Amino acid sequence: MKILKKIAIGIISISFIALPLLFASPKSVDAISRVRGYTTSRGTYVAPHYRSTPNRTKIDNWSTKGNYNPMTGKAGTKRLW
């Protein structure tokens, strides 16, 4: 009985680790890029922030209408076309 209890606890423990990995979308994980803080040529400091990974499409940008920024929860406002 003790062995079955230990096996059950082990399976439950592993499932809490493995299930999120099974359902995580690789695209959603890769879609976030961290931008380091920097100073512009005019002397303005831009604080570190996150953005969607740069690519050649506007469809998956956080600022596009229909999308939202997962870091802030704000909806996109820019038109797609």
Instruction: Read off the pLDDT of residues 42-81 as tens digits, 9 standing for 90 and up.
Output: 999 999 998 888 888 777 788 888 888 888 888 889 887 7
Residues 5-46 have pLDDT tens digits of 778 777 776 666 655 545 544 444 456 888 999 999 999 999
Exposed/middle/buried for residue 51 (C-beta within 10 Å: 0-12, 13-18, 19+): middle
Strands (E), 1-81: 32-35, 38-39, 45-46, 49-52
CB-CB neighbours of 62 under 10 Å: 19
Residue type present at position 16: F
As a whole number of angstroms, the distance between CA 39 and CA 47 comes to: 9
